[in-house]
A = this chain, B = another copy of it.
């Protein structure tokens, strides 16, 4: 733990940026599927387009998790695939290994999702289970990550766990309630919350202004807790603004379509949806 402290600052910021990337990827996926669902009744997005988007998204996530793993291993202070230093008898850069393990699980989830949407080898719900496992694994590693840190540091990472385990639970519920828009919106909200909270952790623990926070002051801890609520409110705001924008755009487009054709399209869409359920 001690060895990780000196390069902690860079690590925190790095984490933040990477998570932000991941979140953007995830979020645009959400945007895309959202649009798909609604636009299903127009000719803009059928089942095949939706699948293509899912495949592209899986590839992007897979690519970023590979990059993440390689970066954790081979950048400046990485362990370079060496796990145990037999000379000095200690584990080599456990932090980096843990981050790489987190990426590994998101990479696995993306691989499974890729296989599912290209070959239909297994029920689609498996991708949500893999996502749940990846989030659970992330939370699990963070949970045992906190030994010996200062009070505020521990507290902020514990708050992060609410978002991470929340995502895991929602993803697991989606195994049984696939396509439930409430759960999907909730998962997006929690993903944004996780991303913005990573940024906040970086901001508090390694303040850019240079004025250090007192990590043992209880009123700081209370402020941070409240701040977490504000991040949640902010995340809900972002998701709802985006959701409203997309559904308004879709509606205005639908109004321009002749009414008779809409009926046909609707039944076509229903087929696509039931197909989605069966697969």
Chain A residues within CB distance 8 Å of chain B: 1, 90-91, 94, 97-98, 101, 104-105, 108, 112, 121-123, 125-126, 129, 133, 137, 140-141, 144-145, 147-148, 162, 175-177, 181-182, 185-186, 218-223, 225-226, 228-230, 232-233, 236, 240, 243-244, 247
> Which of chain B's residues have a CB closer than 8 A to the CB of A125?
182
The smallest beta-carbon distance between A7 and chain B, in angstroms, is 16
- Count the copies: 4
> Which of chain B's residues have a CB closer than 8 A to the CB of A133?
232, 236
> Which of chain B's residues have a CB closer than 8 A to the CB of A221?
144, 147
- A97 near B226 (CB under 8 angstroms)? yes
Q: Among the listed B108, B141, B185, which residue makes an inter-chain contact with A236, where contact means beta carbons less than 8 Å apart?
A: B108
The A interface, classified by DSSP as helix, strand, loop or mixed, is helix
Known contacts A1-B222, A108-B236; can you find 9 more A-B pairs with CB under 8 A?
A: A94-B223, A104-B233, A105-B233, A121-B244, A121-B247, A122-B181, A123-B181, A126-B185, A140-B225
The smallest beta-carbon distance between A207 and chain B, in angstroms, is 14
The smallest beta-carbon distance between A221 and chain B, in angstroms, is 7
> Which of chain B's residues have a CB closer than 8 A to the CB of A223?
91, 94
- Select the residue from A108, A229, A240, A243 with max chain B CB neighbours within 10 A: A229
